[in-house]
Amino acid sequence: MHCSFPVTTPIWRELPLLVAMADKLPKKHAWDRETNIGEDIVVSAAPPYLRVATKSGSHVLEQCDFSQAGENAKFLIADRLADWTRVLTSTRAPFAVLNDA
């Protein structure tokens, strides 16, 4: 499965990208800033793949394959990992990062 965003995203599109990532998290009300997800989220980064899902795997937020980037996949994964860390922290989601990079 490929990511839902182009790899060459201009910097001015970063904020809408973070908002779209936060919108993937379940919330009690649409205007809530905090998530009400019932279980821990695991962010698994093992080049060239990135997976963001609940611990049980019942809810996959994102699954990316950066193999088309070759050697540069680790840099793309690092950026995306930082974005997910920022989003999960700001929405107060319980999460763990498994980084095999």
Domain-embedded: residue 2: no
**How many Å is the Cα radius of gyration of the chain?**
13
Domain-embedded: residue 85: yes
Please state which of the ranges 14-18, 30-34, 45-49, 72-76 shows the lowest mean pLDDT.
Answer: 14-18
- Binned at pLDDT 50, 70 and 90, residue 2 comes out as low
Quick one: which of 42, 50, 40, 60 has its CA closest to 101?
Answer: 50
CA distances from 83 to 4, 29, 56, 67 (A): 14, 23, 22, 19
- Per the structure, the count of domains in the chain is 1
pLDDT digits (tens, 9 = 90+) for 37-73: 989 999 999 989 999 999 998 999 999 999 999 999 9
Domain-embedded: residue 54: yes
Domain-embedded: residue 3: no
Range of the domain at 89: 11-99
> Residue 18's pLDDT is what?
86
> Residue 11's pLDDT is what?
53
